[in-house]
Amino acid sequence: MRLIDSHGHLQAAAFAVDADEVAVAARLAGVERILAPGWDLPSAHGGIGLAVRHDFIDASVGVHPHAAAEVDGDAWAAIAALAPDPHVVAIGETGLDYDRAFSPRAAQLANLRRNLALALALGKPAILHCRSQAGERDAQDELIAELRLAGVGGPDWLAVFGARPPGILHSFSGPVDYAETALELGLAISFSGLAFRAGEEATTIVARLVPDDRLLVETDSPYLSPPGAPRRRNEPLWVEVTARWLAERRGVPADALGEMLVANYDRIFRPATGSA
Ligand SMILES: [Zn+2]
């Protein structure tokens, strides 16, 4: 089946010695495009470097909630200066993480706001990470409130993005009604190996309700190995496990789903060259 990986951190330390080989192995396994999202300034440079070296890799730049407190004004200015680069197709990953809470909540909220403003200014969709502690949903609820506050789904964003999703809930985690609200705001939803973990059962329902044109799949490499992949290091080629699970959940042939995923990736991240 045709495949894409909408979120694989090939610039991460886990790939320091073999990122290029891992990328090429994924390409040979059928992964036609990989988006390597940044999370801070060094990873922004790392992702762009990969995109320069491989024409099937795209980059994104932004600040992850874990790094929200440590990326100061100067580092943010440097990230924002990289964002217009044509290899950069999205802003993020950003968002809220109240599970591990490596940055204080106030810093996470301020960081999310600067990332959303940059996404709107450049017309590049925001890649959104959102995790609450087990059994909680406060991060998801606050993310929706912040998206509304930023005007996502409203006239300013519609004028810039049109029918194209202005953001992506990456590595979906959360309740069903949160997904429904995000879809109402126009967002796309990307599924990862997290879907197979205990406590993430709502994701099996969400996997069926995302409209065809808002569906993406990812590995979040080197994290979130799906069943069958090595636990110590996930790689983009393992995206096939989650893609086949999605096809099964949605009751469609894997090949048809693959065509759809490639078209969605192009329309969402590469609108000038998109096939759809
Ligand atoms: Zn990530």
| Among the listed residues 63, 40, 41, 49, the one whose alpha carbon sits nearest the alpha carbon of residue 15 | 49
- Least Cα distance to 216 among 81, 67, 69, 89 occurs for 89
39 Cα to the center of ligand 1, angstroms: 8
Q: Is residue 243 part of a domain?
A: yes
Q: Give the pLDDT of residue 130.
A: 97
- 173 CA to centre of ligand 1 in angstroms: 13
DSSP-derived pairing of the beta strands 88-97 and 188-191? unpaired
Q: Domain for residue 175, yes or no?
A: yes
Residue 1 tokens read as: 């089946």
Q: Which residue ranges in the chain fall short of pLDDT 50?
A: 274-276
pLDDT of 275 reads 45
**Cα 205 to ligand 1 centroid, rounded to whole Å:** 22
Residues 67-85 have pLDDT tens digits of 999 999 999 999 999 999 9
| Amino acid residing at 118 | L
User: 129 — phi, psi (to 5°)?
Assistant: -100, 135
Alpha-carbon span 30 to 177, nearest angstrom? 34
Percent of the chain with pLDDT over 70: 99
Per-residue pLDDT, 42: 98
Between the CA of 160 and the centroid of ligand 1 the distance, in Å, is 25
Query: Which residues, including other chains, have CB under 8 Å from residue 115's CB and lie 6 or more apart?
Result: 62, 63, 91, 92, 94, 126
Give residue 273 CA to ligand 1 midpoint distance, Å. Answer: 25
> Which alpha helices (H) appear in the chain, and where do they start and end?
19-28, 41-53, 73-82, 105-122, 138-149, 155-161, 176-184, 202-209, 239-250, 254-269
Whether residue 195 lies inside any domain: the answer is: yes
For residue 127, the CA-to-ligand 1 centroid distance in Å is 9
**Contact, 189 vs 215, CB < 8 A?**
yes
Q: What is the pLDDT at residue 276?
A: 43
pLDDT single digits (tens) 32-65 = 999 999 999 999 999 999 999 999 999 999 999 9
7 close to 220: Cβ distance less than 8 angstroms: yes
Question: If you measure from the C-alpha of residue 8 to the centroid of ligand 1, how many angstroms do you get, rounded to a whole number?
Answer: 7
Enclosing domain of residue 115: 3-269
Q: What is the pLDDT of residue 124?
A: 98
Q: Tell me if 120 is assigned to some domain.
A: yes
Q: In angstroms, what is the span from residue 64 Cα to ligand 1's centroid?
A: 8
The domain tally of the chain equals: 1
Q: How many angstroms is it from 226 CA to the middle of ligand 1?
A: 15
Cβ atoms of 6 and 216 within 8 Å: the answer is: yes
For the domain that residue 264 is a member of, what is the CATH number?
A: 3.20.20.140
pLDDT at 273: 75
Read off the pTM.
0.97
28: tokens are 């040979």
Question: Ligand 1 mean position to 171 CA, how many Å?
Answer: 8
57 domain residue, yes or no: yes
161 alpha carbon – ligand 1 mean position (Å): 23
Cα gap 196→79, rounded to integer Å = 33
